[in-house]
């Protein structure tokens, strides 16, 4: 009887593993299809054969059958925008999943430690002193990292539950950064600086440039690789510190490494796109509903689904109206109802 039960359990694990792998393959296919479609659609549509030709033509010599205008639109506008949409969506979703597992709270999002508000303050300061777009992104990135470092230092100086003190310190420092942004808006020139700050806070990929991709690709790659490699250890953190310690895991060091990696990719994302909320909350939950709570599968699923989600939302923002809708507004329209759904779903379970 015991052997029979063990065999059934093994078959169940094998079936779930195959199902999860098929879902991951399906998510990867969806991402590729959405990526190709995103190159094609816009104010100036580009046919599929030309999209494929330009993609392959950039790595191998082929006869050019597209116009110079189409090449300019493709390489200078669409290519960096599509790449950034996929990278930012992937980073925000994976950071959200990592934070939710690390803090053992399903309603935690990437801005829990103040990275987004810190980036907003840095961008506002850069706009006030008249820096160009690259300077704004650089200030946003540096301020985001500095904000989270301050949160960690405050949490280490405080006593009590380490996880709780980190979250509370994040809330307090975020409030201070938010007050700084409000003050920057108060003293900004209403003719040009105030609109620039307000638009940045809405989040957008409209001004995506190749230089933006070059600036954030390294920190994003480092953070994503760390989270992907340590994804199975996040499973251990979800069991609680005491049980993880009995398994020989240094929870404090592991939590710090995951926080640093998640913060790095969050800061890099917000620095080039502005404030894009809800992705880090919504996508990990959708991935969890689809593939389960095992971070060995949940993390890659969140990465793929996050990239596809933001790519799709960006396409909608480009095509829905003649004037582009900031992508942060659309993600809020989707995320807020989903948050309400989560609350009511948990209420029905009790």
Reported as a single tens digit per residue, the pLDDT across 191-210 is 899 999 999 999 989 888 88
Domains of the chain with bracketed CATH: 89-349 (1.10.3470.10)
Burial class from Cβ neighbours inside 10 Å (0-12, 13-18, 19+) for residue 313 reads buried
Confidence (pLDDT) at 24:
95
Residue 44: name the closest of 341, 318, 333 by CA.
318
Characterize 54-78 residue by residue with b for buried, 16 or more Cβ atoms within 10 angstroms of its Cβ, and e for exposed.
Answer: beebeeeeeeeebeeebbebbeebb
Mean predicted lDDT score pLDDT of the chain: 87
Confidence (pLDDT) at 284:
92
For residues 184 and 193, what is the distance between their CA atoms, to the nearest angstrom? 9
Evaluate whether 127 touches 120 at the Cβ level (below 8 Å).
no
Q: Name the pLDDT band for 15 (thresholds 50, 70, 90).
A: low
Tokens representing 99 are 């934070």
Residue predicted with more confidence, 320 or 222: 222
The mean per-residue pLDDT over the stretch 315-329 comes to 85
Q: Is the pLDDT of residue 129 over 70?
A: yes
Residue 326 is given by DSSP the state: P
Tokens representing 243 are 């049980």
Confidence (pLDDT) at 347:
54
Confidence (pLDDT) at 87:
96
Q: What are phi and psi of 188, to 5 degrees?
A: -70, 150
Residue predicted with more confidence, 13 or 215: 215
Q: Is the pLDDT of residue 226 over 90?
A: yes
Confidence (pLDDT) at 137:
92
Burial class from Cβ neighbours inside 10 Å (0-12, 13-18, 19+) for residue 272 reads buried
Confidence (pLDDT) at 11:
60
Reported residue count of the chain is 350
Percent of the chain residues past pLDDT 70, beyond the cut: 93
Q: Name the pLDDT band for 144 (thresholds 50, 70, 90).
A: very high
Q: Could you tell me the CA-to-CA distances from 216 to 213, 245, 264, 265 in Å, in that order? A: 6, 35, 10, 8
Residue 48: name the closest of 76, 70, 26, 19 by CA.
70
Residue pLDDT, tens place only, 27-47: 999 999 999 999 998 888 888
pTM assigned to the model: 0.90
Confidence (pLDDT) at 117:
93
Q: Is the pLDDT of residue 3 over 70?
A: no
The mean per-residue pLDDT over the stretch 74-96 comes to 94
Q: Could you tell me the CA-to-CA distances from 194 to 118, 130, 185, 247, 342 in Å, in that order? A: 18, 12, 6, 53, 36
Q: Is the pLDDT of residue 349 over 60?
A: no
Confidence (pLDDT) at 13:
61
Q: Is the pLDDT of residue 247 over 80?
A: no
The mean per-residue pLDDT over the stretch 101-112 comes to 83
């Amino acid at each position: 009887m015991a052997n029979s039960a063990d065999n059934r359990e093994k078959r169940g694990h094998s079936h779930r593993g195959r199902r999860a792998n098929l879902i991951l393959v399906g998510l990867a296919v969806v991402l590729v299809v959405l990526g190709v479609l995103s190159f094609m659609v816009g104010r100036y549509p580009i046919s599929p054969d030309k999209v494929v030709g330009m993609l392959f033509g950039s790595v191998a010599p082929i006869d050019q059958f597209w116009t110079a205008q189409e090449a300019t639109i493709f390489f200078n506008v669409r290519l960096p925008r599509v790449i950034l949409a996929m990278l930012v969506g992937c980073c925000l979703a994976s950071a959200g999943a990592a934070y939710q597992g690390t803090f053992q709270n399903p309603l935690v999002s990437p801005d829990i430690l103040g990275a987004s508000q810190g980036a907003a303050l840095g961008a506002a300061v850069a706009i006030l002193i008249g820096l160009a777009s690259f300077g704004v992104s650089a200030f946003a990135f540096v301020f985001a990292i500095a904000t989270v470092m301050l949160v960690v230092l405050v949490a280490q100086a405080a006593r009590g539950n380490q996880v709780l003190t980190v979250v509370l310190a994040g809330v307090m420092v975020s409030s201070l950064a938010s007050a700084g942004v409000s003050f920057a808006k108060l003293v900004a020139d209403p003719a040009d600086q105030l609109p620039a700050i307000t638009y940045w806070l809405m989040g957008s990929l409209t001004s995506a440039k190749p230089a933006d991709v070059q600036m954030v690709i390294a920190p994003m790659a480092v953070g994503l690789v760390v989270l992907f490699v340590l994804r199975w250890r996040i499973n251990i953190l979800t069991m609680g510190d005491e049980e993880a310690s009995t398994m020989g895991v240094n929870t404090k060091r592991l939590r710090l490494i995951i926080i640093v990696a998640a913060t790095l990719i969050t800061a890099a994302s917000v620095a080039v796109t502005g404030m894009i909320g809800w992705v880090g909350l919504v996508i990990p939950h959708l991935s969890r509903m689809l593939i389960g709570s095992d971070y060995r599968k949940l993390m890659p699923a969140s990465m793929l689904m996050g990239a596809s989600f933001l790519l799709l939302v960006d396409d909608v923002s480009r095509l829905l109206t003649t004037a582009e809708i900031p992508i942060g507004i659309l993600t809020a329209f989707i995320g807020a109802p989903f948050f309400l759904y989560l609350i009511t779903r948990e209420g029905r379970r009790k």
